[in-house]
Amino acid sequence: MKSKLSLITILLGASSLLATESYADGEGFYVGASAGYSALNTPGGDAFTVGESTESTLYLQDSSTSDTGGFGGSLFAGYNFNKTFAVELGYTKYADSNYSSTQTEYTETSPGSGTYTFDGQNTASLDYSTSSIDLFLKGTTPVIAQVSAFAKIGFSYVMQGVDYTNSAGTPDISLDGGKFATPETGSTTQTAVRPAAALGLSFQATEHIAAAMFAQGFYGTGDFSSDSSAIASAYLIGASLTYSF
């Protein structure tokens, strides 16, 4: 009986020692979550024009709105090879970019008459919704006491949803006079693998819990003025909590 108790004691002591050494080396898995302010680098501006006046048709802008930037967040998990290097996989949701416009349409009663009659009201909306699956190599270096600096570099598999509706059809769109390619009507999704990076400072609050302030983002592709499938760059600035096992 004593030998069994001694064996159990030795095993418990060894496992405890291994866990302590593993923590001391920084090796092991971790999970975390973050939240903060995010935005897409979609075209900016309040004037969202859905149709341009011609000799026979007159458009008058009634209202226009734009809502860009807002809440974003991420979930992530990783593995620390040591106190310096880790690999991390995560999912990030960025704030949407939403545009809408209402116009009144008038049609010339007869060619060259200069008089117009009411021909209805047009509404249009354009919404961008972006999320990404992120794969990073993370490097960490101590700064002072329990504070460390870290950098991440890698790639994001970006999924950008575009919803476009326009009761006037698909005329040119402009935001503050800046033209860009008209997306397809309805809902479409563009995907791409894009370079991504992050920088931050972390504070080791307890043996297992760390808090951080960071900035993260990916670099988009395409020119919105000429490419209807362009993907906007995005960023997230916020705070995170991480639990290390």
Nearest Cα to Cα of residue 154 among 125, 175, 132, 169: 132
What is the full per-residue pLDDT of the chain (245 aa) written as tens digits? 444 444 334 334 434 433 344 444 579 999 999 999 999 998 776 556 666 677 777 777 777 788 889 999 999 999 999 999 999 999 999 999 998 888 888 888 877 777 878 777 878 888 999 999 999 999 999 999 999 999 999 999 999 999 988 887 666 666 666 667 778 888 999 999 999 999 999 999 999 999 999 999 999 999 888 888 899 999 999 999 999 99
pLDDT at res. 7: 37
- Domain 27-45+68-100+126-244 fold is Porin (2.40.160)
* Predicted local confidence at residue 46, as pLDDT: 59
Q: 8: which 2 tokens? A: 């159990």
The Cα–Cα gap between 2 and 213 comes to: 52
- Of the candidates 200, 117, 190, the residue with the CA atom closest to the CA atom of residue 151: 200
**What is d(CA 61, CA 58) in angstroms, rounded to the nearest whole number?**
10
Q: Cα 227 from chain centroid?
A: 20
Q: Do strands 186-204 and 209-218 pair parallel, antiparallel, or not at all (unpaired)?
A: antiparallel
pLDDT at 103: 81
Structure tokens at 77: 């998990």
Asked whether 151 and 138 are in contact (CB, 8 A), the reply is yes
Q: What is the pLDDT of residue 54?
A: 73
Whether the Cβ atoms of residue 28 and residue 79 lie closer than 8 Å to each other: yes
Beta bridge partners of 163: 127, 187
User: Would you list the domain boundaries of the chain?
Assistant: 27-45+68-100+126-244
